[in-house]
Amino acid sequence: MKKEWKNPFWENAAKDRLTVRLNITHDDGSFSTTVAKVSKFDVDGKITSDYEEVISQNTMEEIDKFTEDRLERHRQEREANIKKQKEKHEAKRLEDLFNYKLQTFEIPEIKESTNRKLKAKIRKAKNVIEMQAYATILLMEKYNEEIKSE
């Protein structure tokens, strides 16, 4: 049986516990692989044979590097996920805003209005408050026209 301890990284700052991929080639030629937890010390405080095997196949520098690389990879993944969530949120906000604008343009007084300058302001509004403000101005304009004509 051949045991290979691959890609070990420290589980803790004390560096007395490792996570490592264990590849085993059995005597009959079959192959198995698993993720193993390896402690440096056993219950009596003696260094374990598994730990010694890991250390014999991987230098301390390599284990430190695997640990740092893994932390960095996880940090980047976390940052990418946060960024993606923010983007998704902002994209959803803009899609919703677009929907609100189309609904605003369906208000009969706004739909019929020929004041394209104000309609453009509604279209270019960056948020719902700005959109509503311009829609209100346009409705006020129509309202005032009605009052005058009465």
Partner 1 sequence: MRKSNPSKGFVTVASKKKTFLMGVDNLKESILDYYPEAKITLFTEQRFIDDPDCQLYFRYFDQVLPTPSDTNREKMWGMANSPYDLTFYMDADTEARHEDIKNVFNHLEDGKYDMAYVNLTKAGSGYFAEWEWGPNLYDDGWQGAPDHLAHCGGVALYDMRNPLVKEFMQDWYDLFLLQRAGRWSPPEFDNIRTGNFRQWDQLTLWWLIYHSPKYRSLRWKFFEDNYRWNYFTSFGFNKDGTYNYDYVDPNRDYGKNNPDPVVIHYSSWMDKDGVKGFL
- Contact between 2 and partner 1 by CB under 8 A: the answer reads no
Query: First and final CA of the chain: distance in angstroms?
Result: 99
Rounded-to-integer distance, Cα 56 and Cα 96, Å: 59
* Binding region for partner 1 (CB under 8 A) out of 3-11, 38-46, 47-55, 108-116: 108-116
Bridge-based pairing of strands 31-39 and 17-25 is antiparallel
Contact pick of 99, 115, 127, 144 for partner 1 (by CB under 8 A): 99
Using alpha carbons, list the distances in angstroms from residue 113 to 57, 110, 145: 78, 5, 12
Binding residues for partner 1, rule CB under 8 A, total 24
**Does 131 participate in binding partner 1 (rule CB under 8 A)?**
no
- Interface contacts to partner 1, rule CB under 8 A: 84, 86-88, 90-92, 94-96, 98-99, 101-103, 105-106, 111-112, 116, 119-120, 123-124
